[in-house]
Amino acid sequence: MPNPRLTALPLTIALTATLAWTPSTLAADDELTLDEELIAEAIELLQERYVDESALTSENLTIGALRGIVEALGDDGHTEYLTEEEYKIEREVLEGSVAGVGIVLDQRSAAPLIVSVVDGSPAEIAGLQSGDIIATVNGAETARMPDGELAERVRGEPGTPVRLGVERSGIDERQEFLVMRAEIEIDPVSWSFAPGSDVAVVRMVQFSVGAGHQFREAVQDLVDEGASAVVVDLRGNPGGLLAEMLNAASAFLDDGVAFLEQGRDEVPEPIRVDPDRAVDAEIPVVVIVDYGTASAGEILAAALRDNDRATVIGNQTFGTGTILNNLRLSDGSALRLGVRQWLTPAGEAVFRVGVAPDEEVDLPAGAVRLVPDDLMALTALDFEGSSDVQLRRAVRLAEAMVDRAG
């Protein structure tokens, strides 16, 4: 039996209600409306001609329309529509726990690109790497697959497998990885001394709830244990909560502007760290960033650099550049909107550009990115022979900074 026909008018009314709003900053003549007749015409043609009648549901078209409206803004990877399930996942991540495989995807790219892999996650254990492209999920091609569907296919019940077909730079043939889903507890901060050195390495995975306080505690601990300098590893850090970033920045800044915030037609407003809260305002700092460093991770790197508290090395960052708010809709879904733009303390725009490192250092293809737990098990000789050239360079640069200061 064919599916009941979709009625164009109710869907048109729903979509018009979504967009027929007049922001206080717009004149009445600039009110946003949709062409109801054109939408009704398109829906009628879909009902009459589209081959896959099962796909023609009000839910599918409503979600698709909302995604399309947001995508039309051109703010890919930042402003987006979140289903109720996607919104729930995002909240779980910010609270430090999520079920899945442990990857962060770049939604701006034509194909699903892995920006970062969570330390110790099933994805890392299986061998997935930053820069991998997910071509298939359980045999289904991901090309043109909506973000929400992709996330739903990759996630699943802990203890169940998902097979990912991956394209990797430098390897001609597509690779397959069997990844076992798990409940992932994300520890946002860890630290260790670099092998054979008194330079401490602090890894900041994300700015989830409480991460800023944990970062300050880590800095206090390493200072108490005699660290001469600090390497802050922000590689693959997708960002998170701005309040947590400001708390982390205050570990090294007695005072200063963390970033500039700018709304529509506004003069940029300086956002400062709380004064006189620095754990150590003098200790030399080197920050490592890469393409997976985004949002609050980029802000922290730029804040320390522009306040002359750190040298930044690695690769150009992601380029988020907007302050995002999740605004709930009546059905439990949400619009994640870029409501304000942020600039570096020096006034540089970051949106779609990213933060450029002071020194470009590329991680070779196939290199293993070391984390503090790895460093604890390595000798100085092992560390010098490791493939993580970014971390090795950061430690050597920090040691040179100490020598110059002494």
pLDDT on residue 188: 92
Give mean pLDDT, residues 190-215: 96
Q: Which residue has the higher pLDDT, 234 or 83?
A: 234
Q: What angle do CA 252, 256, 262 make, to 5 degrees?
A: 125
The share of the chain scoring above pLDDT 70, in percent, equals 90
Give mean pLDDT, residues 96-113: 76
Give mean pLDDT, residues 122-142: 91
pLDDT at 237 over 50: yes
pLDDT at 374 over 50: yes
pLDDT on residue 21: 36
DSSP letter at 255 equals S
pLDDT on residue 356: 97
CA distance 404 to 406: 5
pLDDT on residue 83: 87
97-185: what fold?
Pdz3 Domain (2.30.42)
Please, which pLDDT band fits residue 365 given cuts at 50, 70 and 90?
confident
**For helices 242-249 and 296-306, what crossing angle results, to 10°?**
30
CA distance 231 to 402: 12
Which of 272, 214, 284, 220 lies closest to 246 in space, CA to CA? 272
What Rg, from alpha-carbon coordinates, does the chain have? 23
The DSSP string of 203-228 is EE--B-TTHHHHHHHHHHHHHHTT-S
Please, which pLDDT band fits residue 2 given cuts at 50, 70 and 90?
very low
**pLDDT digits 0-9 by tens, 244-264:** 999 999 999 999 999 999 988
Written as six digits, the tokens of 200 are 């401490």
Please, which pLDDT band fits residue 108 given cuts at 50, 70 and 90?
low
Q: Which residue has the higher pLDDT, 258 or 90?
A: 258
| Sequence-distant (≥ 6) Cβ neighbours of residue 186 within 8 angstroms | 93, 96, 97, 98, 118, 205, 206, 208
pLDDT on residue 406: 73
pLDDT on residue 9: 34
Q: What is the pTM of this model?
A: 0.78
Which of 222, 223, 272, 213 lies closest to 244 in space, CA to CA? 213
CA distance 115 to 234: 13
Give mean pLDDT, residues 68-81: 80
CA distance 307 to 350: 17
Mean pLDDT is lowest, of 89-98, 152-161, 177-186, 232-241, for 89-98
- Helices and strands (DSSP H and E) totals, the chain: 12, 19
Mean pLDDT is lowest, of 44-58, 79-93, 319-333, 362-376, for 79-93
Give mean pLDDT, residues 71-86: 80
Output the average pLDDT for the chain. 87
Q: Which residue has the higher pLDDT, 90 or 374?
A: 374
pLDDT at 1 over 70: no
Does residue 342 sit in helix, strand or coil? strand
Q: Do domains 97-185 and 189-405 have the same CATH topology?
A: no
Give mean pLDDT, residues 138-152: 81
CA distance 245 to 242: 5
Please, which pLDDT band fits residue 4 given cuts at 50, 70 and 90?
very low
pLDDT on residue 131: 80
| Bridge partners, residue 106, by sequence | 113
pLDDT on residue 107: 57
Provide CATH code, domain 189-405: 3.90.226.10
Does residue 388 sit in helix, strand or coil? coil
Which of 355, 266, 253, 273 lies closest to 314 in space, CA to CA? 355
What are the extents of the domains in the chain? 8-72, 97-185, 189-405
